Structure formats: C-alpha cells, structure tokens
C-alpha cells in the first residue's frame, strides 16, 4: 500500500488545529467535538486508532516546575522535555521544530535570555497564530514563530546554535530529508536535542500507511535503529540516546513503542 503523503499531512493539520480549538479528532483527523479543558484538547499528541482516543498513557511530560513554562502554550503534545538536556547557554540561537503553541520555545527562552533568540517553525497555521499570541502575552521580542515544513525549513544555512524538537519528526514522511535540513540550518559545531517516538520493531504496513495512526504519533515511528541511521546519514557526529522510556499502547498494537531523547553535533 502506497503512503498517501497529502492525506497524512492533511490529517496532521486537522488534528493539531483541533487541539487549538479545543476539539479532539478521530483516526482520520476529523474533529469529534469538544472534549477540552479550558479550551485545550486533552487528547494529547499520540492517539491510537479510534475516535476521540485518550492517547498513549504516560506520553506527555509534566512541565509545571520547568523554568519558563507557560501554561497557555502547553497542550500536552510532547513525549519528553528536550530543553532539559540541551545545555542551552545565554545568547544562543535556538530553532524549535514543530513548535506548536510555543511551549518548548518559551522554556528555551528562559535559558538563552534576552541576548539569545528562539525561532519556532510549525506547519499548522492555527498553532503558529496561537504561539504568536502567547509570545505577545509574555512580551517577548526575541521569540518568533513562522509557518513552514520541516522537510524544507524556511530559514538559511547555518542559522541556529541548536535545534530542538518534541514528538514531531515521527510525523514527517521523509525523516532522512528532515535530518538533512536540520544539519543544513545548524551552524558548524551546532547541535540538536530531540525527543521522539520509536518502535521496538517495524510496524505493520497497515499502521505505517494509515494517516490516522501517523497523525497520532504512532504510524510514523521508525525502529530505534532506523531512526539513528537517518541521523547518521545526515552527517551528525557524537549521536547519543540520552533517555528512553517505554510507552503503554492500545492492546491492538502489540509492538512496543518508546519515547527517546537524542542528541548529536554537526561537525566543524
């Protein structure tokens, strides 16, 4: 079965635009009505096939005690806290891929300070608008958000000191291209810190080609070995899995899913 790239991207946009509006979505990305708390979806990023799924238990990490956390930007859509192992320094330029409503971007800003800069990229227009609203509420002039595709990041070469991403690259159809783009936009000696979802073994074709499963952060999961291979092919050095956490999934999916946080460096 051939992967429907357009169908996948449309399903992802529907799911994340629904998160902003406070609605959940079904396995095809279609909205299932309001099941929100204070206007935010409680579905989380990683739903299993089935309407209005509650998602994978234990996927989202608790940011409430993290420096720079802004509750209005936290939709519980991540699978780790990459900023906490990124070793950010004042004055650094940070690029947050799949920035959503700005949660990780605002945390990153608390580390790089006023002398640094944080740019978030997201391809869901509603998320970009929400992130900009949140940045305005916080009064940040050095945090900006732009609409764009991770397979073709709308920024120049050697832009950032560090690239962050949280439970997003599993959504990207061409992961090798995504890591090539990350390599391109990093300065020589720059680094990435990414939290993402991988599988214990290769997923069945019907899961890998399902827009619903992919939009739910499951169908697009590579095996751990495949994921690390994509990183290596892009040219990164000193690639290291900083943490790994098994995630409980629906009984219909027998294969084990993991959340991992990975770091790597672009050679000088």
State whether residue 100 is helix, strand or coil: coil
Contact of 251 with 227, CB cutoff 8 Å: no
pLDDT at 28 over 50: no
**Per-residue tokens: 147:** 């609409």
Contact of 4 with 211, CB cutoff 8 Å: yes
Closest listed residue to residue 266, CA positions, set 202, 198, 189: 189
* % of the chain residues with pLDDT over 70: 83
Cα distance between residue 217 and residue 79, in whole Å: 10
Query: What is the arithmetic mean of pLDDT over 200-208?
Result: 88
For residue 91, what are the CA distances in angstroms to 131, 193, 202?
21, 17, 41
Degrees (nearest 5) of the Cα angle 5, 172, 140?
Answer: 130
For residue range 84-104, what is the model confidence (pLDDT) as tens digits?
A: 999 999 999 999 999 999 999
pLDDT of the residue at 100 = 95
Give the pairing of strands 257-265 and 31-34: unpaired
Degrees (nearest 5) of the Cα angle 54, 172, 1?
Answer: 85
Please report how the helices 125-138 and 103-112 are oriented relative to each other, as an axis angle in degrees rounded to 10. 40
For residue range 108-149, what is the model confidence (pLDDT) as tens digits?
A: 999 999 999 999 999 999 999 999 999 999 999 999 999 999
Most confident of 89-93, 206-210, 254-258: 89-93
The neighbouring-strand residues paired with 251 are none
Cα distance between residue 145 and residue 122, in whole Å: 8
Cα distance between residue 145 and residue 99, in whole Å: 8
Give the pairing of strands 36-37 and 40-41: antiparallel
Cα distance between residue 226 and residue 239, in whole Å: 13
**Per-residue tokens: 203:** 């997923």
Cα distance between residue 126 and residue 124, in whole Å: 6
Helices (H), the chain: 5-21, 103-112, 125-138, 175-185, 205-208, 211-215, 224-234
pTM of the model: 0.86
pLDDT of the residue at 252 = 66
Domains of the chain, first to last: 55-265 (3.40.50.150)
DSSP string, 116-179: SEEEEEES-HHHHHHHHHHHHHHT-SSEEEEE-BTTB-SS-TT-EEEEEEES-GGG-S-HHHHH
For residue range 37-53, what is the model confidence (pLDDT) as tens digits?
A: 344 543 444 443 332 23
Higher pLDDT, 86 or 25: 86
Cα distance between residue 172 and residue 117, in whole Å: 25
């Amino acid at each position: 079965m051939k992967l429907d790239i357009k169908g996948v991207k449309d399903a992802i946009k529907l799911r994340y635009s629904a998160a902003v509006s406070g609605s959940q979505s079904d396995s095809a990305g279609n909205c299932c009505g309001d099941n929100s708390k204070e206007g935010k979806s409680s579905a989380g990023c990683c739903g299993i096939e089935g309407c209005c799924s509650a998602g994978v238990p234990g996927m989202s990490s608790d940011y409430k005690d993290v420096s720079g956390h802004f509750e209005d930007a936290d939709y519980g859509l991540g699978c780790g806290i990459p900023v906490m192992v990124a070793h950010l320094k004042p004055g650094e330029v940070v690029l947050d891929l799949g920035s959503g409503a700005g949660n990780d971007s605002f945390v990153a800003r608390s580390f790089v300070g006023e002398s640094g800069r944080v740019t978030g990229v997201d391809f869901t227009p509603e998320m970009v608008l929400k992130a900009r609203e949140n940045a305005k509420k916080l009064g940040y002039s050095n945090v900006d958000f732009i609409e764009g595709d991770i397979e073709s990041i709308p920024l120049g070469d050697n832009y950032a000191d560090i690239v962050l991403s949280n439970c997003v690259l599993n959504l990207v159809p061409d992961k090798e291209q995504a890591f090539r783009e990350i390599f391109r936009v990093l300065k020589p000696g720059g680094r990435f810190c990414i939290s993402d979802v991988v599988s214990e073994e290769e997923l069945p074709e019907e899961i890998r080609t399902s827009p619903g499963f992919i939009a739910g952060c499951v169908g697009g999961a590579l095996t751990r070995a495949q994921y690390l291979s994509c990183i290596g092919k892009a040219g990164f050095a000193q690639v290291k899995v900083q943490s790994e956490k098994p995630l409980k999934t629906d009984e219909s999916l027998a294969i084990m899913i993991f959340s991992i946080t990975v770091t790597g460096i672009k050679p000088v």
